[in-house]
Structure 1
């Protein structure tokens, strides 16, 4: 699918654009280290992973908008204590100068976490990102209990990398998330990467908890199908949970063109209504995204 074919797809579906809930923008020095990790075939990836959109920030924004994104996120995450509050400060500034970015924040189990989570919420954070694989922490850590409660009370969605792909971590897999949601059943969790590779287990989680959603990040693409194919037997549940699945891409840190994610979703053959919801309607409803004003 080319960029022009993407425009044709949006016209056919009758949607104003894409709501992509899983894109990465972060301080350049942090992003450089992330890219260097991918370049070095780090142990959490374990494979060659060329960065398709290794561009400066303004160019990346222009590319993403050119693909049709009218709302997106700045997914960022700490790998050690002492980072989260600083990252949240950067993200607040980025959101202020990037109106189509959903103000994103993060957290880590450390002293002061509840304070900076409340500060981020007060500053207008609309979505949080948590990476259990990179952060290496248990989501049920007691240090996070009040923060999860605040996020549940505010109805703020949290994108959580909790599946065991591409490499298992000490706290990845469905078990920790089942325990977290047993404690905070109203928490709005967006399971990143469809829970790859434990797809069925995380679909079960969504069926059990109304607030749980899943994002499509890298799922169904040729790259991921070679490593962790999505079970064909689960396609019916994709339809059944069609109002809980959100577009995610992992832009810019993807080893293929952005439009391949859209093509991978379309070729599932689940119909235009399903595709319309995934690409736009579900995300727009969750984050109260308004269609862009027409150019006069």
Structure 2
């Protein structure tokens, strides 16, 4: 007798839990924000597990139009910044409207914290503290738990009710540095505010080793379940991300549902009309470029986009640091 194939649902094969990953790719070179936004969109459309976060570069002018394009028209989950790798100051005035926009819309703000000695830089912790004070409703995830300032990170959970911690790298570092006895009870107590993270592909250890280390932590099964599954789901629900049953909707299903891509979006090749990111259409393999490009000129960017100039204060700050 032939085996009946498994029933398909909008969330994948029924009976098999479907993985979700936060795609937090960020530009580290000037004038690449739009190119990376295109790449992230294309990657998330063809990778069912990926839920994308936009990022911006300090030399790409006013960041707000790019963030709004990603969240309003491409339906990204939120924003990711890595102040040290991207060489930006979280406290810079040009970023303040972005934080206000994220707070107003309920989008998630993922930010690198800690490891100052590794990067040879400082300033994230006091800057982030001021941002959280100014924007108490901003849903924020502090990656790496301010490492090695773990107690301070968990103290912040009492002060800032919309703050979450991502244990990426911090668990392995705590084990190596003898801070595990401090970390484990805190993760048990605050499991509803902590997320598991792998930091692939820039992690301290492989995804498999990281997951094994997490499973062997001396915390309860209930706490592990919350950190690895329930807390991230709750975070997405707070973001008002669509769900299919008990699972977050795939990015491409959200894009299919709400086709609002701007000028220049390729036409449908299938039975559908308009955007190719809807039932009946076929997503093209070419990178998406929703903004027109004049012959012989660089990509212009979204409406309201301000190209970098020598007078851009972010550029000036960057030059002073070097």
Question: Which position in structure 2 is the counterpart of 1:159?
Answer: 110
Describe the shift of the 1:231–1:174 C-alpha distance in structure 2 as closer, same or farther (beyond 3 A): farther
Retained in 2: the 8 A contact 1:163–1:172? no
The alpha-carbon deviation at position 156 of structure 1 amounts to 1.3
Partner of 1:73: helix, strand, or coil?
A: strand
Given that residues 187 and 211 in structure 1 are in contact (C-alpha distance below 8 angstroms), is that contact kept between their aligned partners in structure 2?
A: yes
**2:184–2:218 CA contact under 8 A, matched in 1:** no
Cα distance change of structure 1 residues 286 and 213 upon mapping to structure 2, 3 Å threshold: same
Q: Is residue 2:202 matched to residue 1:246?
A: no
Task: Please state whether the residue corresponding to 2:20 is helix, strand or coil.
Answer: strand
Is 1:280 the counterpart of 2:280 in the alignment? no
**RMSD, aligned CA:** 2.5
Distance in 2 between the 1:203 and 1:276 partners?
Answer: 19
User: Which of 99, 106, 111 is the equivalent residue of 2:48?
Assistant: 99
Post-superposition offset of 1:145: 0.8
Q: Distance in 1 between matches of 2:117 and 2:19?
A: 29
**SS of corresponding position for 1:78:** coil
More helix by share: 1
Compute the displacement of 1:168 (Å): 4.2
Q: Cα–Cα, structure 1 residues 144 and 255, in superposed 2: closer, same or farther, change >3 Å? A: closer
Correspondence for 1:138 among 82, 86, 89? 89
- Of 220, 232, 245, the match for 1:271: 220
Q: For residues 204 and 188 of structure 1, what CA distance do their matches in structure 2 show?
A: 17
**Greater displacement, 96-105 / 248-257:** 248-257
3-state DSSP of counterpart to 2:118:
coil
Q: Shift in Å at residue 165 of structure 1?
A: 4.8
Bigger RCO (CA 8 Å, 6+ sep)? 1
Query: Gapped runs of 5+ residues in structure 2?
Result: 1-14, 238-242, 249-322
Larger radius of gyration between Structure 1 and Structure 2: 2
Contact residue 80 and residue 110 of structure 2 kept, 8 A: yes
1:175 match: secondary structure: helix
| Partner of residue 117, structure 1 | 67
Cα distance change on mapping 1:16 and 1:224 into 2, 3 Å: farther
Give SS of 1:220's match.
helix
Residue-pair matches, total: 226
Contact 1:219 / 1:230 at 8 angstroms: preserved in 2?
A: no
Contact 1:128/1:159 (CA < 8 Å) preserved in 2? yes
DSSP 3-state at the match of 1:259 = helix
Q: 1:94 to 1:16 in 2, by over 3 A?
A: same
Q: What is the SS of the residue equivalent to 1:70? A: coil
Aligned-pair CA distance for 1:255: 5.1
Q: TM-score under structure 2 normalisation?
A: 0.64
Q: Distance in 1 between matches of 2:199 and 2:117?
A: 14
Rounded to whole Å, the distance in 2 between the matches of 1:192 and 1:165 is: 13
Q: Structure 1: where are the runs of 5+ without partners?
A: 1-14, 18-68
**Is the Cα–Cα contact under 8 Å of residues 158 and 188 in structure 1 kept in the other structure?**
yes
1:202 corresponding residue in structure 2: 153
Residues 1:84 and 1:205: Cα distance change in structure 2 (over 3 Å)? farther
Q: 1:280 to 1:150 in 2, by over 3 A?
A: same
Distance change (3 Å), C-alpha of 1:267 and 1:165:
farther
How far apart, in 2, do the equivalents of 1:73 and 1:175 lie? 26
User: How far does residue 193 in structure 1 lie from its aligned partner after superposition?
Assistant: 1.7
Residue 233 and residue 197 in structure 1: after superposition, are their counterparts in 2 closer, same or farther (change >3 A)? closer
